[in-house]
Structure 1
Amino acid sequence: MSSKRPEFEGEQFEKGLQIRREVLGDKYVDRSIAAADDMSAPLQKLITEWCWGEIWNRPGLDRRMRSVLNLGMMMGLNRSAEYKLHVRGALNNGLTREEIVETILQGAIYCGVPASLDAMRSAQAVFREMDEAQQEDNG
């Protein structure tokens, strides 16, 4: 999806947009970019260029490891909406459902039981949504 907003142009933005799409999917990214208004566009630019174009593009960690870190951080911060988003990203980056459950168990010790319960509910909701979408595609 191409936007006509001038702030959504440039090499760094395009690099970040590509990585963001690969991890989170076109549908989510298109919705986020399309929803940007005069107030939120600068934040979308910042996230796309620096989070996705700079940090996610660094060679020091692969995408699987970055996903593991994000799951742990989102769980610890109790950010369930972002956690769900990053469960999908982790699956796109090659983590298995079993590995995601293991990150939740690990986090239960370091982040606490309430955070792990919320993360488990979030992961299960994403798994259900994905299974239902797959059944619809196959049926």
Structure 2
Amino acid sequence: MDSLEERYQIGQEMRKKLAGNNPGHNSIPGTDQLAPDLRRIIDECLFGKIWTRSGLDLKERSICTISVLMANGQMLLLRRHIERGLTVGLTPAQIVEVFIQLTFYVGIPQVENALLLTRDIFESNSVEFEATTEYDTSKSVEQLHQEGMAKHEEHYQNIDAYLDDDASDAEIEIERLVNEYHWGAIYTRPHLSAKERAMCSLAALSAVGVYDRQVRRRIDGALKLGMTPSEILEVFIQVMLYGGYFSTRSAIRVARSVFAEKGLAV
């Protein structure tokens, strides 16, 4: 079994790897001065034991972390992890795409705040990024809807699961808008793979504490895309100290229930 000092040293190495050439990432203002014991716990547990786990690579862990911080509106720490994402190899386009991906999960205000912060980071660090237009407005509404339905079916087993037999006209209309824009206009975009989009969604859903049914469907969909049970659990473990232990435990319990129903071992 490793010692606490070994965990600490491994955590320091991981911090350096994530910081790149930015010495500011080696300090936690406020925590360093007021709670040195907490700083040590963070270094040992988060950076020494969680960030170093196998199952996800550093780019994937960065995507999950950026997703959960944005979902929770933690802009101060989000700045640091956007910079870390660039350090471990995420492209500027991928970072922007994470925020676009989560629009329907966390809402426009959170996304706009994250994009404003990202623009400032790119400018202050001389990061080259040229925004491109991917959304094809020449499509008909029906074409957008059909493409959204196809993408929805690619990710989920039963795309009508949200609608009850007696769904109101308003619910049906909302579901169509979701299929058109969430699935047809956003999920079809480039820069993130289907697996990476699933990771964004799983991380954000675990953080905002949505109810069992939504998390269950997203887990089921992630399996359909080819994610392994271990990878799905690793997403939740990665965001535990960013989004909270209880949210992580709840998400893991839902995941294990889904795996058991499908006869999948972990």
For 1:116, the equivalent position in structure 2 comes to 111
Seq. identity, %: 25
Match of 2:175 in 1: none
CA distance in 1, matches of 2:16, 2:113: 26
Aligned counterpart in structure 2 of residue 84 of structure 1, from 60, 79, 96 = 79
Q: Equivalences for 1:128-139 in 2 at 5 Å?
A: 128-131=123-126
Question: Do residues 102 (structure 1) and 97 (structure 2) align?
Answer: yes
Q: CA deviation at 1:12?
A: 0.9
Instruction: Give yes or no for contact 1:108–1:116 (8 Å, CA) kept in 2.
Output: yes
Report deviation, 1:109. 1.7
> Does the aligned pair in 2 maintain the 1:24–1:86 contact within 8 Å?
no
Given the alignment, which residue of 28, 32, 57 partners 1:32?
28
Q: How big is the shift at 1:32?
A: 3.1
Q: Which residue is 1:69 aligned to?
A: 64
Q: Normalized per residue, which structure has more helix?
A: 1
Give deviations 1:111-130, integer Å, cap 9, x for gaps.
Answer: 11010001001111111110
When residues 78 and 18 of structure 1 are mapped into structure 2, their CA distance, relative to the original with a 3 A threshold, is same
1:48 paired residue number: 43
1:30 positional shift? 3.6
RMSD across aligned C-alpha pairs, in angstroms? 2.0
Q: What secondary structure, in the 3-state scheme, does the structure 2 residue paired with 1:15 have?
A: helix
CA-to-partner distance for each residue in 1:37-85, whole Å, 9 max, x for gaps? 3x41011111111100000000111000000001110110000011110
Give the 3-state SS of the residue equivalent to 1:61 in structure 2.
Answer: coil
3-state DSSP of counterpart to 2:89: coil
Q: Give deviations 1:82-119, integer Å, cap 9, x for gaps.
A: 11100001001100000001001011121110100010
TM score, norm. by length of structure 1: 0.81
Structure 1, unaligned runs of 5 or more: 1-8, 133-139
AA partner of residue 124 (structure 1): R
Report the Cα offset of residue 24 of structure 1.
Answer: 2.5
TM-score (norm 2): 0.44
